[in-house]
Structure 1
């Protein structure tokens, strides 16, 4: 028998079997792959003087014996019902001390709801304690009856990793080329690693299915297969109703201001965009970024543009959606979110208004649900997969005072405060939103009548008149000025249109002056790094960010 090298999961199962544990529950949707791993473990055990002579697999529709020495030798047995199969297993283990047997019960969890079946399983587990016989439940997770829980070790069968998928996909690609219908199949083998990474988080069957779909649809295996895999992940997320999947376009230059945090993000580029090489060099990825500050200052936009900058999908989690009205539903939603994040990795996860779930106390009147959700999310933030980058945004930073564990080192690599923009940032934001309006006009079915190039002479008076306005309010001003210009039948709003739009827009700095002062004082106490320049840093010299009468943002960014 050739030497067998076990995976990490198989090694853990091997330890359980060698510890003479009587029962194991293997939670998995991949029955065949899980059964193959069980067989490999038994082969390994057999090679180390703990030989298992018999492996039988029962399901509601079949009963068969698999040779431990040669798994390709499968003997179909006369079908038995659940009770008879377990009773036969129990009898054999009692009759023959040396009969080292394993019985795998596939999709049998629901059958434990019958009192007779449960009692038989309980007595069987008692009978085989300390022997080299094992009773294995294989299938989807089920509620384990308390009477047998102490004798069952629960193992969650891991989805295939990228290397395992590559091993499976390479021969599958060439298998298609042997078929007459695909003899002219164009194969780009360099795509296989990227396709395998895109399929990370899917089952082996799902990955094979996507490969077949790509070959059938495109008569080729190329970069389109990767795009197809990412689209399939988006469908998985959409079906969950827990998070929203976004494919973002743009980049960091689509965000005005915030120079400090954008510079920090660019420092992570080499590591995050070359993950495998960075890991080989011993480098660890940044865990995430916590953006706090005033509402409407671009925190959520930055999360989206960061994902676009790294060409990664974005998972948007609204923490309010985690809480359900049914007992246990909130915890299930958190588990579903964690599973989806792992399935979509590498990705960026945006946790919006994180203070609602993790900031402050609460939960005294909900049976501890809030506390459990908070605990699960905090644990995940600490131990999440390395290739999941978290951007958390929060408006009410005062709630962190009662939850310092959220912002301690190890959860986030940078805690940054986003304040109201300074004059330079306001000019950039105005230019960005005007450029977006021009792009929207060009994409229409009728030729655009909007003049694309806008001069600093138009925007500088607006930047001066909007001190204390947030990015969201500046966006609203651009939209209102465009309506004024359209009504005046001009191909570009004038400075007067913009200033009038600003006059009619009341900023949060006025309507919520006290609350904003509290938020800004929190940052001034040194609790967070400023995301960029603020209105206190307003520049009097505009030459630094205007060239030839055009805002610098509209010129190509240097070094990008």
Structure 2
């Protein structure tokens, strides 16, 4: 199948070559795609292209393996290869593969020679390009080597690839292609974030698994993205099976999210809509913030990545910052996707406080990196952050521009509790019409959604032990035996409500009942 034909920031690579930047580090896993791009530039600039790897040494680009064996084997040595770059007379571009292991801090000879190459090539028509999967620049080379990130295939490249895949299988009567415009765009959007080879492989996999390509091929592509996340070892991939219909209440929040589900299409870009940045969910524990994050993934048909602060922080010096950068890079590489930062105050609550320097400033540095990324990211990564304790959140996180909106998720009101009971009873294979949902809703004033579900489960345990089916009275007893958080944490909830008043949008219409003990005592006489 064909090679992609990208433009790197209006062909930044060609601009650097024309400006005679001597040494360029291109960060990309797609060696062949970058090499093809370099060859097109060299053809336009009338330059030759040479490649280097440890197995072949320096050889003209495009040589067969058999021909490569007859070249000078001495240039397999990194120092000899760099000597060849300096000694070459004609205008040329040298592309080095897998050279980064020789650029470590202890390889003083290679680092010294690279700096000499950079100085020698400034006054020549030669360029050295080093392709590495990740940025691995030492301090000694920071001023001599220019680093650029080679972007993954964009929508245009994916369209060309899909068209060529379809052209190759068009005459196969055993394959069924059913891709109307909406399904085609959904498939292409799902493929964004994959490398060219990964996209080519996953299209072929869908053809084999499903006997064709259709809207049903989107989950196959998302499964490929799941493998990328597993390989990273930092983010967690969540299988989101529940949609908005499985959430009781939160009507305003669900409406806001649903409207933004259409903003990731090319039609939205043409209309002038930017991709939505994300939302911060503040509220009482157990009221559906995390469930809503999972439902967004199912409703939007996008991968859901959970950012785990416990995996981020590491005892190894410097690895925490590296993990942070890698996490954000992985999220961008598989976009469009949803990045879920659960209980964000636990990860960054100490930033700026009296204990903010106990880790040598690591928390402050990674928090600053996150803030910068939230404000400046261009990749379609929708960030959902949840928090229970607003007092621990750094004020910088709440500034406009980090998130599109801040929502306050309060305790469910009576109508919402009724809907939650209906959903939770139905999930346990019982008919909710056989229960007095109004009575259950009234009896559960001040309960969160999680507490309602726990009461239904507790009643089921009692009924199973007693050898009979679930009845309304069993749920009533379970509710009576539960002390909800709205009573034990009434002061904290009141403070949270006071803070969110005028600062955050309500997630639901209507107001919840005020728990007992929260009413203001006024002396009238």
- TM class, shorter-length: 0.7 to 0.9
* Structure 1 residues 417 and 123: alpha-carbon distance in aligned structure 2, compared to 1, 3 A threshold: same
Whole-angstrom distance in 2 between the partners of 1:39 and 1:147? 30
**Equivalent residue for 1:279?**
269
**Equivalent residue for 1:133?**
126
Whole-angstrom distance in 2 between the partners of 1:409 and 1:145? 36
**Equivalent residue for 1:430?**
421
* Structure 1 residues 256 and 537: alpha-carbon distance in aligned structure 2, compared to 1, 3 A threshold: farther
**Equivalent residue for 1:57?**
51
* Aligned 8 A contact 1:482 1:493 in 2: no
Whole-angstrom distance in 1 between the partners of 2:179 and 2:246? 35
Whole-angstrom distance in 2 between the partners of 1:150 and 1:366? 30
Q: Given the alignment, which residue of 396, 401, 412 partners 2:403? A: 412
**Equivalent residue for 2:335?**
345
Count the aligned residue pairs. Answer: 497
**Residue by residue, what CA displacement relative to the aligned partner does 1:460-483 show, whole Å, maximum 9, x if unpaired?**
222222211111111111112223
* Aligned 8 A contact 2:94 2:127 in 1: yes
- Secondary structure of the corresponding residue to residue 411 of structure 1: coil
Listed as ranges, the gaps of 5+ residues in structure 2 are 516-525
- Secondary structure of the corresponding residue to residue 114 of structure 2: helix
**Equivalent residue for 1:147?**
140
**Equivalent residue for 1:454?**
433
* Structure 1 residues 10 and 37: alpha-carbon distance in aligned structure 2, compared to 1, 3 A threshold: farther
Whole-angstrom distance in 2 between the partners of 1:392 and 1:148? 38
Q: For residue 489 of structure 1, report the CA deviation from its aligned partner.
A: 4.8
Q: Does 1:175 align with 2:168?
A: yes
**Residue by residue, what CA displacement relative to the aligned partner does 1:374-414 show, whole Å, maximum 9, x if unpaired?**
112112212234532222110010123xx222111111122
- Secondary structure of the corresponding residue to residue 506 of structure 1: coil
Q: Pairwise mapping of residues 138-537 of structure 1 onto structure 2 (< 5 A)?
A: 138-141=131-134, 143-176=136-169, 184-188=174-178, 190=180, 193-272=185-264, 275-359=265-349, 360-361=351-352, 362-385=355-378, 387-400=380-393, 403-438=394-429, 450=430, 452-455=431-434, 458-487=436-465, 489-494=467-472, 496-524=473-501, 526-532=502-508, 533-536=510-513
Q: For residue 59 of structure 1, report the CA deviation from its aligned partner.
A: 1.3
**Equivalent residue for 2:21?**
21
**Residue by residue, what CA displacement relative to the aligned partner does 1:497-537 show, whole Å, maximum 9, x if unpaired?**
2221111111112222332222222223x221222233238
**Equivalent residue for 2:519?**
none
* Structure 1 residues 254 and 224: alpha-carbon distance in aligned structure 2, compared to 1, 3 A threshold: closer
Q: For residue 129 of structure 1, report the CA deviation from its aligned partner.
A: 2.1
**Equivalent residue for 1:31?**
31
- Secondary structure of the corresponding residue to residue 536 of structure 1: coil
* Aligned 8 A contact 1:21 1:130 in 2: no
Whole-angstrom distance in 2 between the partners of 1:268 and 1:91? 57
Q: For residue 224 of structure 1, report the CA deviation from its aligned partner.
A: 4.4
- Normalising by structure 2, we get a TM-score of 0.87
Instruction: Please report the RMSD computed on the Cα atoms of aligned residues, expressed in angstroms.
Output: 2.7
* Aligned 8 A contact 2:422 2:432 in 1: no
* Structure 1 residues 172 and 103: alpha-carbon distance in aligned structure 2, compared to 1, 3 A threshold: same
* Aligned 8 A contact 1:352 1:393 in 2: yes
Q: For residue 192 of structure 1, report the CA deviation from its aligned partner.
A: 5.2
Listed as ranges, the gaps of 5+ residues in structure 1 are 94-98, 439-449, 539-560
* Structure 1 residues 498 and 336: alpha-carbon distance in aligned structure 2, compared to 1, 3 A threshold: same
Whole-angstrom distance in 2 between the partners of 1:529 and 1:197? 30
* Structure 1 residues 484 and 399: alpha-carbon distance in aligned structure 2, compared to 1, 3 A threshold: same
* Aligned 8 A contact 2:446 2:514 in 1: no
**Equivalent residue for 2:520?**
none
- Secondary structure of the corresponding residue to residue 296 of structure 2: helix
